[in-house]
Amino acid sequence: NAGVMQNPRHLVRRRGQEARLRCSPMKGHSHVYWYRQLPEEGLKFMVYLQKENIIDESGMPKERFSAEFPKEGPSILRIQQVVRGDSAAYFCASSPGTSGGSTDTQYFGPGTRLTVL
């Protein structure tokens, strides 16, 4: 039973380019969460998605960032026109959605480390 998969594991982009980060949830999981981790800081929530729906994007920057979780295929976090401040580790987590809300255990992927030159 494969865990949460993220690719690429490392991504290097120049300022102004686009970054696409992919997340495949655990089998049977229909809820996906994206987090950003800056050096020596905890994870910060970005967005919560279910299949074809954005449930909560309160942690997403208003511009340049978008996320989707299509009916088929992985969830995508897209960052347009990247800047140096976007350099961070981006983690995806998935949950089955069976416990409901607060107590639903989230399983984390290994992360994508984005470096903007």
Considering the complex, state which of residue 6 and residue 24 has its C-beta at the smaller distance from other proteins: 6
From the CB of 16, what's the least distance to other proteins, in Å?
27
User: Is the separation of the CB atoms in 47 and 61 below 8 Å?
Assistant: no
Q: What is the dihedral of CA 73, 32, 99, 29, to 10 degrees?
A: 20
Considering the complex, state which of residue 44 and residue 51 has its C-beta at the smaller distance from other proteins: 44
Helix (H, G, I), strand (E, B) or coil at 40: coil
Q: Which two tokens stand for residue 66?
A: 């978008």
Q: How distant is the alpha carbon of residue 73 from its chain centre? A: 14
From the CB of 108, what's the least distance to other proteins, in Å?
4
From the CB of 81, what's the least distance to other proteins, in Å?
27
Cα separation, 90 vs 44, in Å, equals 10
Considering the complex, state which of residue 6 and residue 79 has its C-beta at the smaller distance from other proteins: 6
Considering the complex, state which of residue 39 and residue 72 has its C-beta at the smaller distance from other proteins: 39
Residues that bind other proteins (CB under 8 A): 4, 6, 9, 40-45, 48, 56, 58-59, 91, 93, 101-111
- Nearest 5 degrees, angle CA 44-CA 97-CA 69? 65
From the CB of 41, what's the least distance to other proteins, in Å?
6
